[in-house]
Chains A and B, each alone.
Chain A
Amino acid sequence: QQQVKQSPQSLIVQKGGISIINCAYENTAFDYFPWYQQFPGKGPALLIAIRPDVSEKKEGRFTISFNKSAKQFSLHIMDSQPGDSATYFCAAIEYGNKLVFGAGTILRVKS
Chain B
Amino acid sequence: DVKVTQSSRYLVKRTGEKVFLECVQDMDHENMFWYRQDPGLGLRLIYFSYDVKMKEKGDIPEGYSVSREKKERFSLILESASTNQTSMYLCASSGTGGSIWGTDTQYFGPGTRLTVL
A interface residues with partner B (beta carbon < 8 Å): 2, 6, 9, 32, 34, 41-46, 49, 89, 93-99, 101-104
Q: Collect the chain A residues with CB atoms within 8 Å of residue B101's CB.
A: 93-99
Shortest A10–chain B CB gap in Å is: 10
Q: Which residues of B contact A (CB under 8 A)?
A: 4, 39-45, 58-59, 90, 92, 99, 101-103, 105-111
A45 CA / B58 CA spacing, docked (Å): 21
What CA separation (Å) do A94 and B45 show in the bound complex?
15
Q: CB distance A42 to B99 under 8 Å?
A: no
CB neighbours of A98 from chain B (8 A): 45, 58-59, 101
Residues of A within 8 A of B110 (CB): 41-43
Asked whether B111 lies within 8 Å of A43 as measured between CB atoms, the reply is: yes
Query: Given A99-B101, A99-B106, A9 and B40 touching (CB < 8 A)?
Result: yes
Q: Are the CB atoms of B90 and A103 closer together than 8 Å?
A: no
Contact of A43 with B45 in the complex, beta carbons under 8 Å: no
Chain A contacts for B108, CB-based, 8 A: 43-45
Given known pairs A44-B108, A93-B101, A95-B102, the reply for A103 and B40 (CB within 8 Å) is: yes
Main secondary structure of the interface of B (DSSP, over half): loop
Q: Are A101 and B42 touching (Cβ within 8 A)?
A: yes
Which single residue of chain A is at the shortest CB-CB distance from B98?
A95
Pair B42/A89 contact, Cβ less than 8 Å? yes
> Which secondary structure dominates chain A's binding surface?
loop
Contact B43–A89 (Cβ < 8 Å): yes
| Bound form: Cα–Cα A49–B90 in Å | 21
Closest A residue to B45 by beta carbon equals A98
Residues of B within 8 A of A2 (CB): 41-42
Given contact pairs A41-B110, A42-B110, A43-B90, A6 touches B102 in the complex (Cβ within 8 A): no
A-B CB proximity, top 9 nearest = A43-B108, A101-B42, A101-B43, A103-B42, A46-B105, A44-B108, A43-B109, A43-B110, A32-B103
Question: From B91, which residue of chain A is reached at the shortest CB distance?
Answer: A43
The reply to whether A43 and B99 form a contact with Cβ atoms under 8 Å apart is no
* Chain B residues, Cβ within 8 Å of A95: 99, 101-102
Query: Are B42 and A104 within 8 A (Cβ)?
Result: yes
Tell me, in angstroms, the Cα distance from A102 to B39 when the chains sit together.
11
